[in-house]
A and B are shown apart, each in its own frame.
Chain A
């Protein structure tokens, strides 16, 4: 596989068995992603977007085919190795934010760094930098329950970027946000992509997100129906 690619999938197939029925979520998907891409998987519900995102995120394994992420074959990783890969190189952004309710904003963002074992003084600086990026430095002591949806998602973004991962996987990140918050969030992510060269891979069917993408991969019935590069100018116009 080409070492220039951050992610490479080859003949990736995922079949779920539900009772006696077999459902093909992904069918021989071949995709490559370079570093610093701002790409999105789009398509209707059940097209395999989230399944592909989960496999790339080493949260799931393919039924057949290969997936190489950051030089590691996901299908061969043990639970521990997969956890290390996620911990050291990936950030996740979820549709429902998934913040830890008992932690403050600061502690939520700090959490991945604690798992990394980063020293306290470095941790504090990294967390405050991340919160500055998303414009929530003044809410560091708040609890998730005290934040709006937009603010919560920005905390989730800060948590994803705080360790400066090579790859951030965002599953429907704007689904629970209004238009204004969605644009704010996407602009933040685009800025991080530019400034930190972080690769973003979205799963979405939200038009607002699609407007910001520089690469759009359309999935349909588990297959890649279309893979198109979008002109940066178009993205900027939007």
Chain B
């Protein structure tokens, strides 16, 4: 207690130097929490949006289906297994048929994924009901990005071509009945959605699908011959990796900031030990052991960390709360990143994040504060008492 009291007094007695150190350190502290909260928020939002709009509670993929290899699509369809068929009839799963095709908007050739979906589905947050009760033979919906890149509008007809189950080319004019606005690019770019039963009929693939999406609360994982189950960890791995890579970039940035703050504290400690040699000698003469004096100076340095946390809380908490409630407007710029972010990003700050960051700051500050104090162990008390300061 006596060490803490003396350390606190010395810290406060440091005046402007103490406050500047604490302020610089608090910038790192607040920035780490802010940035990490931002990436957590990004991860959570993107994951949630993609689960709602595309992945559901996981997907069964026909064994040949590889979304990164268009050449596999021709063979990536099979009759839906009975187990999944039962789930579909109970509206606990949703079949999707995926074909590689070509579209000719305004006479231009555009490669496209033709996806068949049940217009009555309620599993995904997807405006498939726009495909219902249409008089057209082949109603189609596309996303706003697709509409922009092809110049298509509602009511436009566009020729789409595909190869059916026998490998024969076939084509139809589809009418654009709806243009959806979505943040999920992987259901928008280069894709055209049509009713699954119509597509199955046109391609001679009745009762077949490429993948089956499970409802979000559906227990999954049953092994099915010819079908592979893909859970969220797999489906969201690209997103997680992208968020993680961005987070690493930010980590390097705030590591540099933390390093600068630590440099300031290290210098302060060195200067403090040099300027207060006489005080060190006096403390030893009064009966303090060297290790206790080392603890005192280390604690003084470490208290910068606690002060930084308090200072950071004073100005950081309102800022963090503001962004957590109002969100951070990110405009259209992030759309090109491929993230399903929308126009606002809501950072997620958890008690764990704050606690871990606080611990990191305190531990690093304590280590940096301790390093210069090792000099005290070598300082002769008689020399210390002889010094002018």
B interface residue numbers (CB < 8 A to A): 1-2, 6, 9-10, 12-13, 278-279, 281-282, 284-292, 380-382, 385
Contacts and interface: CB of A to CB of B under 8 A. Distances in A.
Q: Which of the listed residues A83, A86, A96, A111 has the most CB atoms from chain B within 10 Å of its own CB?
A: A83
A142 interface: no
Interface of A: 54, 57, 59-60, 79-80, 83-84, 86-88, 90, 92, 94, 96, 98, 100-103, 111-112, 114-116, 159
B285 A86 contact: yes
Given A92-B285, A92-B286, A59 B9 contact: no
Contacts of A111: 2, 286
A60 B281 CA distance: 12
A98 B284 contact: no
Contacts of A83: 284, 287-290, 292
25 contacts: A57-B285, A59-B381, A79-B290, A80-B289, A80-B291, A83-B284, A83-B287, A83-B288, A83-B292, A86-B285, A90-B287, A92-B285, A92-B286, A94-B285, A94-B385, A98-B281, A100-B282, A101-B13, A102-B6, A102-B13, A112-B287, A114-B2, A115-B288, A116-B287, A159-B286
Contact of A79 (B12, B279, B285, B289): B289
B6 A54 contact: no
B382 A100 contact: no
Contact of A59 (B2, B284, B289): B284
Contact of B287 (A84, A100, A102): A84
B385 A59 contact: yes
Given A83-B287, A83-B292, A114-B1, 18 more contacts: A57-B285, A59-B284, A59-B385, A60-B382, A80-B291, A83-B284, A87-B287, A90-B287, A92-B282, A98-B278, A98-B285, A100-B282, A101-B13, A102-B9, A102-B12, A103-B6, A112-B286, A159-B286
A67 B26 CA distance: 52
Question: Main SS of chain B's interface residues?
Answer: helix
Contacts of A84: 287
Give me the 5 closest cross-chain CB pairs, A-B, nearest first. Answer: A87-B287, A102-B9, A102-B13, A98-B282, A114-B2
Given A79-B289, A83-B289, A100 B284 contact: no
B382 A59 contact: yes
A94 B13 contact: no
B382 A86 contact: no
Contacts of A98: 278-279, 281-282, 285, 385
A80 to B, nearest CB: 5
Contacts of A112: 286-287
Contacts of B288: 83, 87, 115
A60 B380 CA distance: 8
Contacts of A90: 287
Contacts of B282: 92, 94, 98, 100
B122 to A, nearest CB: 70
A106 B251 CA distance: 48
Contacts of A54: 382
A159 B278 CA distance: 17
B348 to A, nearest CB: 42
Nearest to B380: A60
B285 A103 contact: no
Contacts of A57: 285
A88 B291 CA distance: 18
Contacts of B10: 102
A103 B9 contact: yes
B287 A115 contact: yes
Nearest to B278: A98
B6 A100 contact: yes
Contacts of B290: 79, 83
Contacts of B13: 101-102
A143 to B, nearest CB: 10
A214 B10 CA distance: 41
Contacts of A94: 282, 285, 385
A80 B287 CA distance: 9
